Amino acid sequence: MSDQAGGVYRPFPSFVEWEIAGLDTSDFERYSAMLAATKESVEPGTLQAAMTTAQRYAAVDTNAIEGLYEVDRGFTRTIATQAAAWESVMDARGPHVRPAFDDALNAYDYVLDAATRSVELTEKWIKDLHSIICASQESYRVYTEQGPQDRPLPKGTYKTLPNSPTLLMGESMRTLPSLIRHPK
């Protein structure tokens, strides 16, 4: 996190400092009730197929958000719905795409256990989740004054260094306010 005024990096507080007791779970409870009602009104196979497709959509796009690969609507839909030749379409994007997709699917299964309160949400659980979703990713790219560099990805740990996401035009997110033109 960075200080809004000065852009100074401050690491996330330790897990014991989090205020989990104040977490508002009303949305989760509402959606859980809606899902339970839906389960009563549809065939189990239909519900499972819909849930699998939704999970696959999310797994494809999660990795795209992280910049592991690029997607378009056709690619995402093909993979999510397991359309004809979906594996070939995925393989054509590169050898790293399928493992990253599988990691995301495994992470969603892991999260489901916490969402359904089958397991307790702990600091170890959070670190394990990071290890699961990054299982096949050995490194990550950082952009320094010397240019882009790949660094080893420490799995199951919190980040220790500041970062500044970059916009498509190459500008740092920190400069975003100065890039926005305000009407006079």
Q: Is a pLDDT exceeding 80 seen at residue 171?
A: no
Is the C-alpha dihedral spanning 52, 54, 55, 61 positive or negative?
positive
Tokens matching residue 161: 């260094």
What pLDDT does 88 receive?
95
Better-scored residue on pLDDT, 135 or 167: 135
What pLDDT does 2 receive?
45
* pLDDT tens by residue, 75-116: 999 999 999 999 999 999 999 999 999 999 999 989 988 887
What pLDDT does 176 receive?
46
Q: Confirm whether 72 is domain-assigned.
A: yes
What pLDDT does 146 receive?
84
Backbone angles phi, psi at 152, to 5 degrees: -60, 140
Q: Confirm whether 62 is domain-assigned.
A: yes
**Domain total of the chain:** 1
Total-model pTM: 0.69
What pLDDT does 182 receive?
45
Q: Confirm whether 65 is domain-assigned.
A: yes
Q: Confirm whether 163 is domain-assigned.
A: yes
Q: Confirm whether 164 is domain-assigned.
A: yes
**What is the residue-wise DSSP string for 133-172?**
HTTT--EEEEEETTEEEEEE--TTS---S----B-TTS-B
Q: Confirm whether 76 is domain-assigned.
A: yes
Q: Confirm whether 16 is domain-assigned.
A: no
**Domain, as residue range, for 29:** 22-179
Q: Confirm whether 4 is domain-assigned.
A: no
